[in-house]
Amino acid sequence: MISYGREGSARDANVTLMENFVAGIFGSAEPALEAYYASIQLAAQETFQVLSAAVYTHDAEGELAPETPDMGTANDLAFADSGAGQEALDELNAEAPEGSHVVLLHIVESSPSSVDATLRSFGGTVVRRSLAELESAGARRFDDL
């Protein structure tokens, strides 16, 4: 967990915020896109902050290909976190079944409940990793270089 102030803010300064990568894995594009837009709308209500978000398709070549360039791509996530976003994508690439659609959110939150509930409400399987876990696996943040 980190105390987050630079890129995000909490209504209560005593709230501990966590920076996480959260994915919803879906069997088809429609519920993935619906979950993506619902997550963005939920963030607009200040439940949590989205740093990057995108929907990916796990294609026939076994790679995650971006479907939604408006809120982020693999390159955006990797650059923003100097490897942490790419590490999250690599893990999802190994885990997501071929033909699946993945919503990947890089977020700051005080509790996982609202994001997880949103992704599950559209039929997604939720997978999450904290930035701290990814950093301990060797990924580094851009501002740590």
Q: What is the DSSP letter of 142?
A: G
What are 70-127's pLDDT values in tens digits?
455 444 554 444 467 777 778 888 888 999 999 999 899 988 889 999 999 999 999 9
3 within domain boundaries: no
> Roughly how many angstroms between the first and final C-alpha of the chain, as a whole number?
20
5 within domain boundaries: no
Tell me, what's the pLDDT at 69?
54
Higher pLDDT, 8 or 102: 102
User: What residue has token string 């999450």?
Assistant: 128
Tell me, what's the pLDDT at 22?
92
Domain of 124, in residue numbers: 18-27+39-128
4 within domain boundaries: no
Q: What is the mean pLDDT of residues 133-140?
A: 70
Query: Considering only CA atoms, which of 108, 97, 100, 81 is closest in space to residue 17?
Result: 108
Contacts of 38 (CB under 8 A, 6+ apart): 118, 121, 122
143 within domain boundaries: no
In angstroms, the CA 128 to CA 112 distance is: 9
- The total of structural domains in the chain comes to 1
In angstroms, the CA 135 to CA 133 distance is: 5
Contacts of 71 (CB under 8 A, 6+ apart): 36, 40, 50, 52, 53, 54
Tell me, what's the pLDDT at 79?
42
Tell me, what's the pLDDT at 71?
55
142 within domain boundaries: no
pLDDT higher than threshold 70 for residue 142: no
pLDDT higher than threshold 50 for residue 129: yes
Tell me, what's the pLDDT at 139?
57
Tell me, what's the pLDDT at 44?
85
What are 40-69's pLDDT values in tens digits?
999 888 778 888 888 989 888 888 888 875
Cα-flanking dihedrals φ and ψ of residue 63, to 5°? Answer: -115, 155
